[in-house]
Amino acid sequence: MRIAIVGGGLAGALLALRLSQLHRPLKLELFTGGDPGRGDVGQRDASAASGGMVRAFERDPGAAALAAESLAELRGSRRLREWSRFRESGAVYVTEPRTEVTRSLAVVEEVLPGSAERVGADRLARDHRLGGLPPGVTGIVEHGAGYISPDALRTAALGRLADSGVQIHPDRVTGVTGDPAVRLRDGVRHYEAVVVAAGAWTPCLLCDSGLPSGRLRVRQIQYTLCRGPLDGVRAFVEENSGLYGRPHGPGRFLLGLPSDRWDLAPDAVEPDRALADEVVALAGRIFGVAFAAERTVASFDCYRDPPGLELRPVEGGGGGLFTFTGGSGGAAKAVFAASRRAARSLLG
C-alpha cells in the first residue's frame, strides 16, 4: 500500500510515524515542502512558533477525551517526554460563568484519575493570582499538565522516520488530485491514499487543485514574550478575556490573545502591535503586576469550525484523498491520540 502525506509539520510527522509503526509493508512518502519548520514560503510554521501547552480538560467532552489520552501517553513515555522537551507546570482553565464542565471532568477523571479538580473564583485569586474575574466562573486545575516543544517533537519524529527508511522529500507539492495523486513540478505521482496535513497551507493547496477546502480557514496566531514580577504561575487559559499563557523561565512568560486576522496568506503574516499591547495591559489587570514586553512572535494556523485535529475525506476526492489538520491552534494537546486514530482509520 502506497500512502503520501503532504506536510512536514507536527501533524504530518506524527501521522507518518504512527503509520510506520502500524503497517510494516507500507510504502510511505512524506513531502515536507521545504525545510521543516520554515514552511513553503520561508515563514516559521505553527509547529515552530507554537507555545505547546498541553492539558487534558476541554469544554467539549470529545475534545477532552483526545487531550486526556494524549497527555496520558506523553506522561507515560520517557521517549516522548524527551523528544518533546515536556515541562510539567500544571495548568488552570477558567470557564465563562455557568459553563457545564461535569461531563468533560468525568472524561478526564476516567483517563487520568485525580489529575484535575474544580475550584471557584476565590481559589483562583488566592492560589493562582487570577483576579478580576466575573461571578460564577469555574476553574479547572490540572496538576500533571504543562507544555512541550512541538518543533522539537516534529524534528525527532522526522529523524526516526528517516532512520526507518521512510522517504522524506523536500519537494513542494503544487496540487493534489482525487485519483489520488500529488502533483509536483516534475510530474504526478499516484498512491492508494493521499493525506494533506499542511496546516495553514491546506486550504490554498486544495483550492489550487480545484477542490473545496471545506470549513478550513487560515488565522494568524501570535504571542508576546513578557517579563514580570510573578512566580509560581501555571499554564493557563482565561476564557472570559481570551488571555492565555505559560511560564517561559524565571520571571518570564509567554502571553497571548486570539487574533482577528483571518483568511490571510501565510507570507503576509506580521506582528499585530495593537494586539501585543492589549495582551500586556490585560495581563497586568488580571495578575495585578506590571509586565514588560520583550518580543512578539507571529505565525499562522489552520482553523476549523467545529475545531479538531481529525482525518477527514476531501469532498470530491474520490475516497482516497484526506486532510489531517484543523486543530485550530490547539493541535499539540491532541496530536498523540489524534494521529493514532487517524492512522488506524486510514489503514482500515
Give the residue-averaged pLDDT of 27-34.
87
| pLDDT in the model for residue 265 | 83
**Location of C-alpha cell 484523498:** 321
- For the cut 70, the answer to whether the pLDDT of residue 36 exceeds it is no
Q: What is the pLDDT of residues 106-157, one digit of tens each?
A: 999 999 999 999 999 999 999 999 999 999 999 999 999 999 999 999 999 9
Give the residue-averaged pLDDT of 285-289.
95
- For the cut 60, the answer to whether the pLDDT of residue 12 exceeds it is yes
Question: Is 317 within 8 Å of 330 (Cβ atoms)?
Answer: no
Give the residue-averaged pLDDT of 316-320.
87
| pLDDT in the model for residue 44 | 59
Give the residue-averaged pLDDT of 25-33.
90
CA atoms within 13 A of residue 76's CA, in its CB half-sphere: 9
Structural fold of domain 1-52+149-216+304-348: FAD/NAD(P)-binding domain (3.50.50)
| pLDDT in the model for residue 5 | 97
Give the residue-averaged pLDDT of 13-32.
91
| pLDDT in the model for residue 232 | 85
| pLDDT in the model for residue 30 | 96
| pLDDT in the model for residue 53 | 95
Least confident range from 143-157, 255-269, 272-286: namely 255-269
CA distance 121 to 130: 8
- For the cut 70, the answer to whether the pLDDT of residue 35 exceeds it is no
- Measuring CA to CA, how many Å separate 249 from each of 33, 48, 132, 230, 233? 33, 18, 25, 11, 11
Give the residue-averaged pLDDT of 209-236.
93
Q: What is the pLDDT of residues 37-89, one digit of tens each?
A: 444 333 457 777 788 999 999 999 999 999 999 999 999 999 999 999 999 99
Which of helix, strand or coil describes residue 234?
A: coil
Question: Is 224 within 8 Å of 211 (Cβ atoms)?
Answer: no
| pLDDT in the model for residue 38 | 41
Peptide bond into 180 cis (omega under 30): yes
CA distance 225 to 296: 6
CA distance 220 to 300: 4
| Mean pLDDT taken over the chain | 92
